[in-house]
Structure 1
């Protein structure tokens, strides 16, 4: 069987190798707390930026509708 390297990347995904690796090296697989905090922070920043973009588009649409209504009212008043 292949010799497993412990210094690079994640532990193997093959169940037999994983079990053998965990028994020999006494390691657990999964994400560390630091990795989870960093990924959650990045997700939060991306979510915040996308929500700001969405809210600015909604605001711009509202302003455009208000201007269109004002122009329609002006055109209607000039026609009479």
Structure 2
């Protein structure tokens, strides 16, 4: 769903005739995507912290499909 929305928007942006308008629209789109990525990272961080309350780092890593040290890095926002 999100992938098709991104593809649709990039297709729409590509159709903007004026290069300056197209550039500005593309930059706005990238900023929106970046804000979404930051929000998603915060959600990941909070989820890992919640898991850590009941599990070791190793167990948290196993639950989310990464190493325990990577899980700890995610919790620290790295």
The structure whose residues are more often helix, as a share, is 2
Bigger radius of gyration, 1 or 2?
A: 1
State the structure with bigger RCO (CA 8 A, min sep 6), 1 or 2: 2
Normalised TM-score (structure 2): 0.49
Normalised TM-score (structure 1): 0.47
